[in-house]
Structure 1
Amino acid sequence: MKNISVSLLLWIFALSSFTIKAQSIEKAVDSLISRDFNDKNAPGGVFMIAHHGKPVYQKAFGKANLELGSDMSVDNVFELGSMTKQFTAVAILMLEQQDKLKVGDRISKYIPDYPNGDKITIHHLLTHTSGIKDFTKMKSLSDIAQKEMTPKMMVDFFKNEPVDFAPGEKFDYNNSGYVLLGYLIELVSGEKYEDYISTHIFDKAGMSQSSYASDRKVIKNRAYGYHKKESGYVNKTVISFSVPFSSGSLMSTLSDMLKWQNALNQNILLDSIETKKAFSKYTLNNGDYFTYGYGWHLRDIDKVPTREHGGSIFGFKTMAVYIPSEDIYVVGFSNCDCNSPTQAVKDIAELTSKKSKQ
């Protein structure tokens, strides 16, 4: 009984100590966020800090819906934009784990008529080193932006464009590569991309508030997206989510993104070998390293390694930073593409990292 009591007291002390730390940074975090999210009657955002897999700070700012005057909530659902790429990359690695493909495979193995497909590998697509044309930079994009496109139609839209460089020659962030990856997921798994992500990732990780985006479906707790014009705020431009597809069409919440991070840490989705591949730095043809793994930028804050990625899609901007050495996860979502959470999230991560060491 004595040993149990001592253990209990130590646990309570550790918990209360961490709570004090969390409380001590609340005002500083609020201050960092209020630099850009300071109008309670404008579109706003939500922010979360998690430590050791548990949220220690969650707050909402501004309005989730201007027409209804609805206040933002930490439970609101946001479009993720390019943070979708994390899920696409992990889905590819899950298929490799099942021996259904290899990241070293050339894409001609799956799409025989793809130009230069015998030289472009899945690895090139994952790391933005393929050299294929980014469809978001094509002038003709407006012609299909609101059309319902199949994955094959999307691939056909950009596949015959001149390449920007030879595979592996340089790193150049590329949405087309991740659309191709989504198409490969469908070809290899025999499932639609959105179904594969829902069944094999969202369900396994317990992400019940996450889904493939839709402007038609009724989505509980949806935050509505806005643009800012000279005349004021306007509703976001409507697009077909079949266009960004596996490069940017998922939706989620703060709490679900924490479940995602925890699932990665606990090897619920990937074994340790495949996880290491996602978070490794790779080299170009000339041997130079670049700071992108599979679906994440691999950077650092004050020489402390981080895994991070942002997203931007009409009406929304998102950002998340994870510090593996301290198990700190910071996420920020905005429902106006006029207001990015990126700098706030990075500053919060740096502040939290420093406080955790004190």
Structure 2
Amino acid sequence: MLKKISSYFVLLLISTGSYAQNFDSQKLDSYFASLEQNNKFMGSVAISKNGTLIYSKSVGFSDLENNKKATPNSKYRIGSISKTFTSVLVLKAVEMKKLKLNQTIESFFPTIKNAEKITVEHLLSHRSGIHNFTDDKDYLIWNLQPKTEKEMVAIIAKAGSDFEPDSKAQYSNSNFVLLTYMLEKSFKKSYTDLLKEFITKPLDLKNTYMGGKINPAKEECKSYTFNEKWILQPETDISIPLGAGGVVSTPSDLVDFSNALFNGKLLNPENLEIMKSIKDQYGVGLFQIPFYDKIGYGHTGGIDGFSSVFSHFDDENIDFALTSNGTNFNNNNIAIALLSAVYNKPYDIPNFSSHEVSSEDLDKYLGIYASKQIPLKITITKDKKTLMAQATGQSAFPLEATEKDKFKFEQAGIVLEFRPEDKTMKLKQGGGEFLFNLE
């Protein structure tokens, strides 16, 4: 189960490219067929150009227990992409003079530390200093139970502040839960109604709304993690993430929302520029998402077993979105494949061939490895016929043998190459290579 209602994608950054006039949808179909056949991904994707859908695909199951396949209308919890919707609503409130970016929050939340210094803009840009409640060790103990506004504000207030307001940026779901309450008080309407009034109804987004208890009868997906088989995940109660992570949507709705937002159909130009203004890696409800020489703007999300990403690229007016209810793969690679297809860049259909090993074969790799390049030690152990790796201060994760002396952890894009004769190990991730020596 994902602890945080967020994740961060960093896409490939190399040279130049252009939109493929002869878009190869068949290759993308083969790409997703490979993922599906090898239990690597369950979810849906969509790509649009100039506001017109040019590709969509759904694979896996929306409800595995009832053998219900995912369709283009399957609805996913989108986690922190909700923050983009909430940011639009807050800036709409600013346009309507319901809120001001520079107003402080003490009249709304007098119990919050530094409330007299924290502004609406600080909340939007993760510069408030308010502690992120999903980082707390006990979060996964209470996140399945409904919480009232009073209870959530008390939890956030008790956690206090991590830094002086506006001194730096640090991701905090607490900010957007508080913004949800501020919106509701300012308009005297529920977040559900505000989302409908200002975004989903004007854009005719029929599959986007504030979530609730997952209802498969309404084509709402359950979520899963993979450990030899897909395992159903518990549901965070939506009264907790609210506008920080409680929205439900589909990729086709998300690309329509993205295209409308970046083409000026939701906010005035000044407020759209505020959203795109990046400081210390954060905009307002947006991140920069680079791909080769292009810079897109979007957001990512993760909650329970769900993960998601959307982005807009002004170059060729491209929007893409991915929503997943189960992944046993590095979703960043999927995003790269989608954009590579759009911009006529090379990408490979993944080959999931494995290398058979016995428990005895793994003994030569065991031990603690250290590197002079990075201050990190990696302990290699085994669990029967599975090699396990554990970095300093992190949980252990299973490694899959791909060929002799070579193992991978697909979800994080990690490859470990061993040279037992030299007592060394090479770690590859994100284009970097790090040499480790057996202690």
Q: TM-score range by the shorter chain?
A: 0.7 to 0.9
The AA in structure 2 aligned to 1:88 is: T
Give 1:127's aligned residue: 125
Cα distance in 2 for residues equivalent to 1:112 and 1:261: 35
Say yes or no: does 1:26 pair with 2:25: yes
The AA in structure 2 aligned to 1:270 is: L
- CA distances 1:291-313 after superposition (whole Å, capped 9, x unpaired): 22111102422232211211111
Stretches of structure 2 lacking an aligned partner (at least 5 in a row) = 1-18, 346-439
Per the TM alignment, residue 116 of structure 1 is displaced from its structure 2 partner at its CA by 0.7
Cα root mean square deviation, aligned: 2.3
What is the SS of the residue equivalent to 2:326?
Answer: coil
- CA distances 1:29-86 after superposition (whole Å, capped 9, x unpaired): 3455466x23277861111111111111111122222122222212211111111110
Give 2:235's aligned residue: 238
Aligned partners of 1:334 and 1:340 also within 8 Å: no
What is the SS of the residue equivalent to 2:53?
Answer: strand
Cα distance in 2 for residues equivalent to 1:151 and 1:61: 37
Aligned partners of 1:75 and 1:254 also within 8 Å: no
Say yes or no: does 1:93 pair with 2:68: no
What is the SS of the residue equivalent to 1:332?
Answer: strand
Cα distance in 2 for residues equivalent to 1:32 and 1:264: 30
The AA in structure 2 aligned to 1:306 is: G
- CA distances 1:203-244 after superposition (whole Å, capped 9, x unpaired): 1211111111122656522222112235x2222213211111
**TM superposition outliers: structure 1 runs of 4+ over 3 Å:** 27-35, 40-43, 216-219, 337-340
Give 1:8's aligned residue: none
Cα distance in 1 for residues equivalent to 2:20 and 2:135: 47
Per the TM alignment, residue 119 of structure 1 is displaced from its structure 2 partner at its CA by 1.3
The AA in structure 1 aligned to 2:144 is: Q
The equivalences for 1:290-301 within 5 A come to: 290-301=280-291
Cα distance in 1 for residues equivalent to 2:30 and 2:146: 43
- CA distances 1:317-341 after superposition (whole Å, capped 9, x unpaired): 1111211232111111111154553
Aligned partners of 1:45 and 1:334 also within 8 Å: yes
Say yes or no: does 1:146 pair with 2:136: no
Cα distance in 2 for residues equivalent to 1:100 and 1:209: 28
Going from structure 1 to structure 2, the CA distance change for 1:110 and 1:53 (only over 3 Å counts) comes to same
What is the SS of the residue equivalent to 1:107?
Answer: coil
Cα distance in 1 for residues equivalent to 2:246 and 2:217: 14
Higher strand share: 2
- CA distances 1:146-189 after superposition (whole Å, capped 9, x unpaired): 22212332121121223211112222111111111111111211
Say yes or no: does 1:319 pair with 2:317: no
Stretches of structure 1 lacking an aligned partner (at least 5 in a row) = 1-17, 283-289
The AA in structure 2 aligned to 1:110 is: F
Per the TM alignment, residue 106 of structure 1 is displaced from its structure 2 partner at its CA by 1.2
Identity %: 26
- CA distances 1:273-302 after superposition (whole Å, capped 9, x unpaired): 2111111123xxxxxxx2221111024222
Going from structure 1 to structure 2, the CA distance change for 1:127 and 1:320 (only over 3 Å counts) comes to same
The AA in structure 2 aligned to 1:21 is: N
Cα distance in 1 for residues equivalent to 2:261 and 2:305: 28
The AA in structure 1 aligned to 2:112 is: Y
Give 2:267's aligned residue: 270
Give 1:73's aligned residue: 71
The AA in structure 1 aligned to 2:47 is: I
Aligned partners of 1:310 and 1:320 also within 8 Å: yes
Higher helix share: 1
Give 1:285's aligned residue: none
Going from structure 1 to structure 2, the CA distance change for 1:347 and 1:292 (only over 3 Å counts) comes to farther
Aligned partners of 2:63 and 2:216 also within 8 Å: no
Cα distance in 1 for residues equivalent to 2:289 and 2:71: 30
Find the partner of 2:209 among 208, 211, 217: 211
Moved more, 127-136 or 258-267: 258-267
Per the TM alignment, residue 104 of structure 1 is displaced from its structure 2 partner at its CA by 1.4
**Number of paired residues?**
327
Find the partner of 1:220 among 193, 218, 221: 218
Say yes or no: does 1:260 pair with 2:257: yes
What is the SS of the residue equivalent to 1:159?
Answer: helix
The AA in structure 1 aligned to 2:301 is: G
The AA in structure 1 aligned to 2:290 is: D
